[in-house]
Amino acid sequence: MMDILQLILLWFGIYYIVAVSLNMEFGYAGIPNFGKALSVLVGAISVGGILNRLLIWYFGVKGDLIEGSTFAIARMNEIIAAHPLAGIFLLLIAILLAMVVGFVVGMIFILPSAKLKADYLGVTLLAISEAIFLVCVYNLSIIGGYYGISTPDILAFAPGEKRGWIFAGIVLVFAFLSFLFMEKLLNTPYGRVLKAMRENEDVVKCFGRDIMKLRMRTMAIGSAIGAIAGVLYSFYTGNIVANSFTRVEWTFFPFLMILLGGKGNNKGVALGVLAYVIVIVFLDIYKYDIKEIFHIPFEPVWLTYILFGITMLLILYYKPTGLIPERPVKTPPVKRIMED
Amino acid sequence: MVLEGAIIYSNLLVLLALGLTLTYITTNVPNFAQGSFAIVGSYIAVTLLRIFHIHPYFSLPFLLIAGAIVGFSTYLILKPLVARRADVEILMIATLAIDLILLGTIGAYSEILSKIVGFTQAKFVFSQLDFSIFGIKGIFFVSIAVTLLLLFCLYLLLYKTKFGTALRASMENPDLAETMGINVEQTRAFSWALSGALAAVAGGLLPFMQEIVPMTGDIIIISIFASSIVGGLTHITGALVGGYIIGLSESLITYYLSSIFGTGFLVYGKVVALVIMIITLLFVPSGIMGINWGKRPKK
């Protein structure tokens, strides 16, 4: 039972970071970012493709990325086991790196489509993300592709049974920081201009704001935050397999969580993420029991896809505003008017 | 040999992009499930082959009907949202959801079929069933013939029948068409059925070209969108031009570059399609057929 709670907390944290950044892009700014998976992949690339290479270089290990990683990481894990601070340091370095890379990638990512309408925009973002995903899967020299590479165990000093809890704690801290950051950032004139852009771009243009710059800034920040989730996920699983950064897992499901919770509302999104994570964790634990009981003649993962697809349609039909709908922002002038 | 493959691939892309463009014009939704529509066709073809021993070339008429049903059902699912005039983002998410449902269904079905026929159907090809004339694969002739036939029928339908005129009218201006007594709902439903049918036929021919797995639809969707956008999402003829541009360049440029940089470059096939699409979006966002060729802009 405690293990289940630990898993729920961990996945809640990781998915909340993704969802809250997507909420800024989609819920606030109205950018249909169907390439959200890319920002998570960027986090993984920062760990597997950049950090691992730095470690290989630092320890002077020979061999290609896949082979070299194994040796370099064994050496790194020994150091972390002796000096816990080294592990924390490595995590912070990785997150900083991922945020910088995510920021730049996010900005470039939106460039070709920064002037497009919503439908073209969504298609382009999806296509870019999917093409980069495919390259990462089949080109083994980026992050080990389908073969996979190992990542440093930043908690190598912690005893096995406590590792999961400590990790869940770390993830929740970052999720909370992301929440605070987003709440602060979006409760400013910038956040409100994003909402204005979502509602009517022409009006925003009339007031002299550059739509392209707004979109670029939003995607850069959103991707930087999303990349944190990629880093945490890569460190948690202890290895990176490019195949796990699919569109379904890291784009569609975050959209599902946002629409379930209530788009444009960071607290509602938390509720959506929690509901999704509880369902998925229990499904994952009991999937083979379910398969036995109902005599399902195929892998339960397909059934999960069908069920979540239908859930999404039902939300769109009956509860498009989500469980906790977005409320009008009460800025001081608005409050004054309401009091009168 | 490479050119042969490139032309086959282009023909199939034309069919797929045509469906995408049709539904985009009538309903204003980029349909993310178009790739999975095709894979539904592939799996129906493999079922007919394994269980009823029907050669995939002869199952094409059946695929037309089955695909039309899939396309029409998709429209029925989208209809309440379209009627509510939901935002295009919401409609796109709905087609993503439909894509996921189709993916789940195809995946589950592939395992059920594997159990029925006794060996795995999770991936399959048809190329061993193909005939050849003078060393050229049969699929080369069949894909050309099928594409031409379907395009010809589509042309007859759109330009020589009353229904076709109504269809074009409701594409150009749905509100005006409605005031003229045209049932726009009906034309929309028809375009979705047509889109599904074209995709399913392409899906029935695709296994002659490449290996099919349940996820294939999610991969080819990049090329389909690239074709439609390069040609122009708002012009039916755009799908034709775009399908050939993307199909040929994806195969030929990738082949050419891989002969320079080594076979490792082959994984960048979709990147080539993507780059062409982005260049188009940057310079001619309305696509090649969207350019006002030879005409001076009216004042």
Residues of B in contact with A303 (CB under 8 A): 104, 108
Q: What is the mean pLDDT of residues B196-209?
A: 92
- CA–chain centroid gap for A167, Å, is 17
Q: What is the mean pLDDT of residues B141-157?
A: 88
What are the sequence ranges of the domains in chain A? 2-339
Averaged pLDDT of chain B: 87
Give residue-wise pLDDT tens across range B50-83: 888 888 888 899 999 999 999 999 999 998 898 8
Look-up of token digits 């469906």: B19
Return the amino acid letter for A225: I
CB-count exposure of residue A133 (10 Å: 0-12, 13-18, 19+): buried
- A4 touching chain B per CB within 8 A: no
Please check whether residue A185 is in contact with residue A266, taking contact to mean a CB–CB distance below 8 angstroms: no
**Partner-chain residue, chosen from A128, A297, A316, that has the shortest CB–CB distance to B93:** A316
Q: What is the mean pLDDT of residues A282-292?
A: 85
**Partner-chain residue, chosen from B89, B101, B274, that has the shortest CB–CB distance to A127:** B274
Categorize the per-residue pLDDT at B293 as very low, low, confident or very high, splitting at 50, 70 and 90.
low
**Partner-chain residue, chosen from B28, B80, B103, that has the shortest CB–CB distance to A317:** B80
Task: Write the ipTM.
Answer: 0.90
Q: What is the mean pLDDT of residues A7-27?
A: 94
Nearest to B273 by CA among B295, B244, B233, B232: B244
Asked if the model's pLDDT at residue A211 lies above 70, the reply is yes
Buried b (16+ CB within 10 A) or exposed e, B92-107: bbbbbbbbbbbbbbbb
Categorize the per-residue pLDDT at B299 as very low, low, confident or very high, splitting at 50, 70 and 90.
very low
Categorize the per-residue pLDDT at B296 as very low, low, confident or very high, splitting at 50, 70 and 90.
low
Q: What is the mean pLDDT of residues B210-239?
A: 89
pLDDT of residue B294: 64
CA atoms in the 13 A half-sphere facing the CB of A326:
17
A141: closest chain B residue by CA: B264
Return the amino acid letter for B117: V
Give residue-wise pLDDT tens across range B96-131: 999 999 999 999 999 999 888 888 888 888 877 877
B270 contacts A131? CB cut-off 8 A: yes
Report d(CA B273, CA A312) in Å as an integer. Answer: 30
Task: Look at the alpha carbons of B190, B196, B197, B199 in this order and tell me if their dihedral is positive or negative.
Answer: positive
Report d(CA A66, CA A52) in Å as an integer. Answer: 9
Token duo for residue B145: 């013939």
Residues of B in contact with A119 (CB under 8 A): 28-30, 88, 92
**B190 to chain A nearest CA, in Å?**
22
Residues of A in contact with B273 (CB under 8 A): 131
Give the 3-state secondary structure of residue B133.
Answer: strand
Nearest to B94 by CA among B34, B188, B31, B40: B31
pLDDT of residue A157: 84
**% of chain B at pLDDT higher than 90:** 37
Q: What is the DSSP letter of B212?
A: B
**Partner-chain residue, chosen from A34, A115, A131, that has the shortest CB–CB distance to B271:** A131
- A247 touching chain B per CB within 8 A: yes
Token duo for residue A217: 């800034």
Return the amino acid letter for A42: V
Report d(CA A194, CA A30) in Å as an integer. Answer: 8
Angle between helices B162-172 and B2-27 (to 10 degrees): 70
A298 contacts B112? CB cut-off 8 A: yes
Q: What is the DSSP letter of A83?
A: -
Categorize the per-residue pLDDT at B95 as very low, low, confident or very high, splitting at 50, 70 and 90.
very high
Could you tell me where the DSSP H helices lie in A83-200? 84-110, 118-138, 140-143, 160-186, 189-199
B274 contacts A126? CB cut-off 8 A: no
Give residue-wise pLDDT tens across range A67-120: 888 888 888 888 888 888 888 999 999 999 999 999 999 999 888 877 777 788
Residues of B in contact with A38 (CB under 8 A): none
Report d(CA A57, CA A52) in Å as an integer. Answer: 9
Could you tell me where the DSSP H helices lie in B118-179? 138-160, 162-172, 174-179
pLDDT of residue B298: 47
Residues of A in contact with B227 (CB under 8 A): none
A252 contacts B97? CB cut-off 8 A: yes
Length of chain A: 340
Look-up of token digits 């007031």: A207
Return the amino acid letter for B130: D
Q: What is the DSSP letter of A149?
A: E
Strands B136-137 and B132-133, by their bridges, are antiparallel
**B150 to chain A nearest CA, in Å?**
27
Token duo for residue B136: 């050229």
Give the CA distances from residue B7 to residues A253, B247, B257, in Å, rounded to whole numbers and listed in that order.
37, 7, 18
Give the 3-state secondary structure of residue B30.
Answer: coil
Report d(CA A91, CA B294) in Å as an integer. Answer: 60
- A28 touching chain B per CB within 8 A: no
Token duo for residue B167: 């269809």
B277: closest chain A residue by CA: A124
Report d(CA A158, CA B158) in Å as an integer. Answer: 70
Nearest to B225 by CA among B287, B168, B170: B287
**Partner-chain residue, chosen from B81, B218, B278, that has the shortest CB–CB distance to A112:** B278
pLDDT of residue B282: 84
Residues of A in contact with B274 (CB under 8 A): 127-128, 131
Question: Looking at domain A2-339, which CATH architecture does it have?
Answer: Orthogonal Bundle (1.10)
CB-count exposure of residue A291 (10 Å: 0-12, 13-18, 19+): middle
pLDDT of residue A289: 85
| DSSP sequence for A225-283 | HHHHHHHHHHHHHSEE-GGGS-HIIIIIHHHHHHHHH-TT-HHHHHHHHHHHHHHHHHH
Interface test with A, best of B78, B84, B89, B215 (most A CBs within 10 A): B89
pLDDT of residue A43: 94
Full residue range of the structural domain in which residue B130 is found: 2-213
For residue B228, tell me if it sits in a domain: no
Averaged pLDDT of chain A: 89
**A128 to chain B nearest CA, in Å?**
7
Please check whether residue A168 is in contact with residue A4, taking contact to mean a CB–CB distance below 8 angstroms: no
Chain A / chain B CB contacts < 8 angstroms: 136
pLDDT of residue A21: 95
Token duo for residue B246: 């993307």
**B272 to chain A nearest CA, in Å?**
9
**A179 to chain B nearest CA, in Å?**
24
pLDDT of residue B140: 83
Please check whether residue A89 is in contact with residue A225, taking contact to mean a CB–CB distance below 8 angstroms: no
**Vertex B86, ends B82 and B87: CA angle to 5°?**
125
For residue B16, tell me if it sits in a domain: yes
A134: closest chain B residue by CA: B267
pLDDT of residue A82: 87
Q: What is the mean pLDDT of residues A188-201?
A: 89
List residues bridging with B124 in a β-sheet: B212
A124 contacts B226? CB cut-off 8 A: no
Report d(CA A139, CA B286) in Å as an integer. Answer: 33
A312: closest chain B residue by CA: B97
Asked if the model's pLDDT at residue A45 lies above 50, the reply is yes
- Ramachandran class of B86: left when φ > 0, alpha when ψ lies in -120 to 50, beta otherwise: beta
Angle between helices B236-261 and B269-283 (to 10 degrees): 130
Asked if the model's pLDDT at residue B297 lies above 60, the reply is no
**B176 to chain A nearest CA, in Å?**
24
Number of domains present in the structure of chain B: 1
For residue B54, tell me if it sits in a domain: yes
A182-191, B241-250, B252-261, range with the lowest pLDDT: B252-261
A138 contacts B267? CB cut-off 8 A: yes
Angle between helices B216-231 and A118-138 (to 10 degrees): 130
Length of chain B: 299
Please check whether residue A36 is in contact with residue A18, taking contact to mean a CB–CB distance below 8 angstroms: yes
- A248 touching chain B per CB within 8 A: yes
For residue B201, tell me if it sits in a domain: yes
Asked if the model's pLDDT at residue A34 lies above 90, the reply is yes
Asked if the model's pLDDT at residue B16 lies above 60, the reply is yes
